[in-house]
Amino acid sequence: MEQFHDGHHVWLRSRANGLYLCADDDRSGVSLQQDRASVHAAWAVHILHFNGGDVLMLHSAANGRYLAAYRAEGSWNVERLNLNRLPSLTFSWYALGSRYGDDVLLRHFKSMFFLRALFRRDRISNSGAVGLCAMDRGTTTMQWVVEAIPPRESIPTLPDPLPPSSLSGVYRIWYVRANPDGIISPNDWRLFLFYAADRLRYPNVDAA
């Protein structure tokens, strides 16, 4: 687990074909792709303390779902799922050392199977698939290179505020939150004001 630090982001590269573990566009699938510059290749590291030890959870930067494995129709599937409770063994992994230097094996907590690259690199689409394997076969298909994603060197600055002369009006939004029974109290209404500079983003709001 030494290569995974809570709150940091990583890329995971398959030793077998050099492709990166990525979130697919369908919001649930996982595959191996060439482009690590995409947000789909980034995974946030969450370390969960469980049963006296640490387990790894990988949170997709693309849509906020977690790398998971679950059993369906007699086989284990690797997908991204929404986390609805903790602890959840479906989303938990062990990072184990391997015989290839600093490479790691990712072992699913619930099934105890290993994450692996299923197929060789498709030369046309530059992609591959992932699945689970019941035992360490000593092949590079189960080896993963952990590459730390460096933090941004600087935070983008906000644009300069518009001068007062460019503000032609003030706009208002009245809002209220209903209680759990759907009842709205007339005393709970609140007012939100904003200036004409935001008008381009909210074109349907009436001026005060």
Cβ-proximal residues to 208 (8 Å cutoff; 6+ apart), any chain: 169, 170, 171, 172, 193
Highest-scoring range by mean pLDDT, 30-39, 123-132, 151-160, 167-176: 30-39
Q: In degrees rounded to 5, what are phi and psi of residue 66?
A: -105, 145
pLDDT confidence band for 177 (50 / 70 / 90): confident
pLDDT at 159 over 60: no
Whether residues 112 and 189 share a domain: the answer is no
Express each pLDDT in 6-16 by its tens digit: 999 999 999 99
Whether residues 82 and 140 share a domain: the answer is yes
Domain that holds residue 174: 164-198
Express each pLDDT in 15-48 by its tens digit: 999 999 999 988 889 999 999 989 999 999 999 8
Whether residues 111 and 169 share a domain: the answer is no
* Number of domains present in the structure of the chain: 2
Question: Does residue 159 lie within any of the structural domains?
Answer: no
| CATH value at residue 111 | 2.80.10.50
Cα separation of 5 and 148, whole Å?
Answer: 9
Exposed/middle/buried for 156, CB within 10 Å: 0-12, 13-18, 19+?
exposed
Express each pLDDT in 75-134 by its tens digit: 888 999 988 766 678 899 999 988 778 899 999 998 999 999 986 655 656 789 999 988
Q: In degrees rounded to 5, what are phi and psi of residue 171?
A: -115, 155
Question: Does residue 4 lie within any of the structural domains?
Answer: no
Sign of CA dihedral 120, 64, 40, 58: negative
